[in-house]
Amino acid sequence: MNDAIPSSARQEQKENITGDGNGAWASALPRLSVIIPTLEAAATLPATLTPLFEAGDLVDEVIIADGGSLDETPVLAEAAGARVLIAPRGRGWQLAAGTAAARNAWLLLLHADTRLEAGWEAAARRFIAAHPEGEDAAYFRFALEARGLAPRLLERLVALRNHLFALPYGDQGLLLSRALLARAGGVPRLPLMEDVALIRALLRLGGRRRLHCLAARAVTSAEKWERSGWLRRSLRNLLCLSLYLLGIPPQRLLALYHGGKASR
């Protein structure tokens, strides 16, 4: 897959990669398009956007693929400097629309209730510098915006799932080249489990050695767990994953995922 990124661009990247990850070579690296699917995300979106717009020249554009929010999500996004696209509702369709509109060779897929902690920019730069051919993908360490034993236990269980099965979810972000995404078939147009389907497609291409966990953390809102109960929500997520892997279509899992309520 050496033609994933043109050879001239790869050579230029390699010739300019000297320094500590934040120095003179930084501007020689490709810039990122960040794609965020949203649906009434006004409560969490500002915290998600802040570290992206503080990332210097790494982030070239932030694309909000909105599924028809009735709250202030589009207004907040535009005020922050993001591009807002209206897309068919469903994370898979929204992410597909956002990636199609992106203008850069490297993409970061991120949820609207997930903020990247300090250090994410340097970790992303190092990853891109180490993989200029764009054949590998990366995700961030999972963390929850909550105190107590339950969130820490869940974080450890997610880390174990990633270690054993190489199966990060979308709330850990996904950093990959446009060429690799295209080889994987693009973002699956699914209302649910699009993140799992995409990771499985990437694993089929290159195996788990091509999927890397970055040191920086992606901190996700714990609102869903706090509202539904830590154990109940975790078991529901596990049941949805198991049923999907057994072949149940994601559309049939929506009510279960949302706790018996149809999503708007």
**pLDDT tens string 209-234:** 999 999 999 999 999 999 999 999 99
In this predicted structure, the answer to whether residue 264 has a pLDDT above a threshold of 70 is no
Which is nearest to 17 in space by CA: 163, 174, 130, 149? 130
Sequence-separated (6 or more) residues with CB below 8 Å from residue 186: 96, 99
Confidence of residue 179 (pLDDT cuts 50, 70, 90): very high
In this predicted structure, the answer to whether residue 15 has a pLDDT above a threshold of 60 is no
Assign residue 114 a region (left: φ > 0; alpha: ψ between -120 and 50; beta: otherwise): beta
Q: Which fold has domain 7-226?
A: Spore Coat Polysaccharide Biosynthesis Protein SpsA; Chain A (3.90.550)
Nearest-angstrom CA–CA distance, 126 and 58: 11
Q: Report the pLDDT value the prediction gives residue 9, as an integer from 0 to 100.
A: 41
- Model confidence pLDDT, tens digit, residues 111-156: 999 999 999 999 999 999 999 999 999 999 999 999 999 999 999 9
- Match 């990366």 to its residue by tokens: 138
Q: Report the pLDDT value the prediction gives residue 136, as an integer from 0 to 100.
A: 97
In this predicted structure, the answer to whether residue 6 has a pLDDT above a threshold of 80 is no
In this predicted structure, the answer to whether residue 11 has a pLDDT above a threshold of 60 is no
* Cα dihedral 52→53→56→61 (10° resolution): 80
Assign residue 260 a region (left: φ > 0; alpha: ψ between -120 and 50; beta: otherwise): left
